[in-house]
Amino acid sequence: MRGPHNLWRLIATGATFERTGAMKVILDAYDAPPVLRVAARVLGWPFQWLGLKGDPNVPPVTRALTALGPAYIKFGQVLSTRPDVVGPDLARELRVLQDKLPPFSQAEARHAIETELGHPLEDIYSDFSDPVAAASIAQVHHARLRETGQDVAVKILRPGIERAFRKDVDAFYFAASLIELLSPASRRLRPSDVVEHFDGVVRAELDLRLEAASASQFASNTATDEGFRLPSILWMQTGRRVMTMDWVEGAPLGDNDALDAAGHDRVVLGQRVLTLFLNHALRDGFFHADMHQGNLKVGPDGAIVAYDFGIMGDIDAYTRRVYAEILFGFIRRDYQRVAEVHFEAGYVPADRDVAEFARALRAVGEPIFGMDATRISMSRLLNYLFEVTERFGMETRTELILLQRTMVVVEGVARSLNPSINIWEVAQPVVQGYIGKNVGPLALVRDLGQTAQVMARFGPRLPQLVERALTDQMEAKPDSTPRRGIPGWIWGLCGIALGALAACGAMTL
């Protein structure tokens, strides 16, 4: 339930960070000034006895996040891909959150399988291993199908995970409402909408049938992508809490030593990760939105193999064009066009100054070009972007949250493979290719053709729709009031013209 009782959860969060020593580690990682360190100690120390102790055998930040629960673990997974933000040591420490969490018991795994699939475990799998990976939502076992002898991976949700996430998300809702109440300026960031979006993502991730469907769609979209493949889903051995798929052999993308020993080129892999993500987001509008190292392997043939499809991003064609034009504008250093796209899309209020916004974007973009990634302070860049958006009244776009978050994660993964990678240089050919196909005269002709198809489907109904609109207008107009606006006979002619245009369009397609 969302209410003031969640204040206890928020206090316990801060107390847990203090009690486990995670607060000091985080302050050190961000090189916090003395004033902030003193404030954190004064506010945190009296309440540390309320915090969770966690596992004393693991490092402080990992200890705090695992003690607090799955939603916090998800946050740590994102940070683990950003050594430029939290530092290489902390990023390495957090990487265990990706797939090396404590597993649940074999007895609980057996119970989940037999309850979900309706058969004894031995009737389905001839071999069933101990957990080979355990993450915040589920764990994976290596098994062999009794009927075919096929090696498979069996993913099983953690017992009670739904209730655990519900508790955390309710606390997040309360925190968001508290922030909006105490800080009216924060409302433009729409914290409640952001939490609601996160809530929807989590709910989908807790039904493995939806994950299986996402994997199937993703496989269909990417079937021709060179150097990329996905495991196949075995639908007969899949349910809400259990999913079975092909077993994937390969080196973890987060293990650079293993990649080097296998002879893989990490520079090529880093470029491929970025290129694949941009292609999936722009070309298909459907992308893997949890692309951290724990969900990626490199096969013996050098292909990147993705799995864990619980979080997928889906963006419409218009949003993809806006995103591509913004990226392309930055790549070309055409900040005026980037500013115009923001205004055209409604991302910035129309009463703000376009030229001034373009200059602010130039201050963000110019430091990037001509540098390799090792010289770019992403945390400083993100901080300045936040200041710019606040200054110009931009609101948080919930439809872009996953896209933005995944872009951050993917860049972090690519950087872990090749610290000198430059995201803009890798992105340029992908974005330029998309722009060439989807923005310009050819795209306009294609859009008009699609519009004609829609009009052709609704053509027979156009006269009725026009007549109904005119009737409603006449009934709503007082008798003493002269008719204003466009005369009805013009609307009728427009309807006839649109119907004819639709028919012609349908014949030419």
Catalytically active residues are 290
Sign for the CA dihedral angle at 233, 238, 239, 240 comes to negative
Contact between 361 and 335 (Cβ < 8 Å) = yes
First to last CA, the chain: 54
Query: Rounded CA gap, 243 and 247, in Å?
Result: 12
Query: Rounded CA gap, 260 and 258, in Å?
Result: 5
Location of structure tokens 């009805």: 488
Helix (H) or strand (E) holding 244: strand 242-246
Phi, psi of 352 (to 5 degrees): -90, 165
Task: Give Cα separations from 29 to 89, 132, 415, 504 (angstroms).
Answer: 9, 31, 18, 65
Phi, psi of 138 (to 5 degrees): -150, 175
Query: Rounded CA gap, 255 and 354, in Å?
Result: 46
Which of 178, 182, 183, 125 has its CA nearest to residue 156?
A: 125
* Three-state DSSP string of 86-106: HCHHHHHHHHHHCCECCCCCH
Which of 50, 64, 55 has its CA nearest to residue 22?
A: 64
